[in-house]
Structure 1
């Protein structure tokens, strides 16, 4: 099967962050609609990769489905139902290894527990990565721990190496960051009330799907957390 799926966190539809983040990327992953981006130089090119994945933070990274969507959906819903809602700390625009991303401004153990649980709960539905996929990952000079994660879960940046982030750009040069970061901060300022911020209640997780290679990821279902 060429279809891929992932379990992500994404803002709720009525959260202003959904509209602001989707506009920044130029696409709404809920509807698939193309959106007008802010007038920031080179923004369409700088956000091209992130636009394809949609506004999200990764919990269970994308994988080819080895079973069926119905079986995956059943287990994802069961995982969500046994997971308690929690507060997400205020977010802010930050640099993450040269990328711009929205990141939490305070520690949140519940986030780590959420992603660790999602990775394990859905792994029976993950087809093993191909040799080409493994080779592409290994170009990043993985540490021994990351290599172990790649072998076990098909993705190297989990457990201690996992970081919550909502990707906003590709990796930027220092010159690009000098104008793009202030533009991003200004774009999200009204949403985050920069300098004060606010917490968000995590009440759902999202199953994203990709129909085939090169297709955009879309929100297939929003699954309510139960606890």
Structure 2
């Protein structure tokens, strides 16, 4: 399959029960590259709630999506991902919790995030030679949301504002919702997903993913963290 962009994700372990539920919640399974039926939850239009994040799959972004730089190859990117993973140790989190990030819902880590943030920074920094510079249209789109000085500097240096010191690990579970819907969906996730969440959570690998022409992301390969 030909991909238009690539990214480095944390993808939860496919066989975990919480992964299975959250993947069906979003309705797209990156692991096998197919749509999946949503759970039926009274009072929640799951398909509508998850329409925006669906194509990205169940993940936390470690290096944001990028076009491959001229002169670089997917094979070289594979090799670089493998080398990076071999230098990085697994990361243990106390767990995950439902959080409101503005008007959307996500899973956020509990406890110390220092090692997690360092892993994300390594992904951004060590693979940056594979990233093509953003277009003027992309820069304009990012700036239209309003950036502070640090985010602007990140955009210029790394092609994305919310990296390095501005990084916040999160697994997106909804699009932007109005306040009543936000509360309803949050209660549903507290009831159906939270009891399945692991504590602690171990991040044992990184995933190279690709964006197909239809905008949906697919798993290409997982790299075990063995540093």
Interval containing the TM-score (normalised by the shorter chain): over 0.9
Could you tell me how far 1:90 is from its partner in structure 2?
0.6
Cα distance in structure 1, aligned partners of 2:68 and 2:45: 35
Which contiguous aligned blocks of 4+ residues in structure 1 show a shift greater than 6 angstroms? none
Which consecutive residues of structure 1, in runs of 5 or more, have no partner in the other structure? none
Q: Which runs of 5+ in 2 are unaligned?
A: none
- Give the CA deviation at 1:225: 0.6
Scaled by the length of structure 2, the TM-score of the pair is 0.93
Q: 2:25, 2:3 → 1: CA distance?
A: 29
Name the Cα RMSD after superposition: 1.4
Cα distance in 2 for partners of 1:129, 1:208 equals 19
Q: Is the 8 A contact 1:22 1:28 kept in 2?
A: yes
The 1-side partners of 2:159 and 2:3 are apart by 16
Q: Where does residue 206 of structure 1 map in the other structure?
A: 207
Which of 182, 185, 190 is matched with 1:185 structurally?
Answer: 190
Paired position in structure 2 for 1:43: 46
Count of residues in correspondence between the two structures:
222
Q: Distance in 2 between matches of 1:157 and 1:149?
A: 7
- Check the 8 A contact 1:89/1:108 in 2, yes or no: no
The aligned counterpart of 2:161 is 156
CA contact (8 A) 1:2 1:64 kept: no
Instruction: Describe the SS at the equivalent of 2:219.
Output: strand
The equivalent residue for 1:22 is 23
The equivalent residue for 1:171 is 176
1:190 offset after TM fit, Å? Answer: 3.1
Query: More deviation in 39-48 or 59-68?
Result: 39-48
CA contact under 8 A between 1:99 and 1:172: conserved in structure 2?
Answer: yes
Q: What is the TM-score normalised by the length of structure 1?
A: 0.93
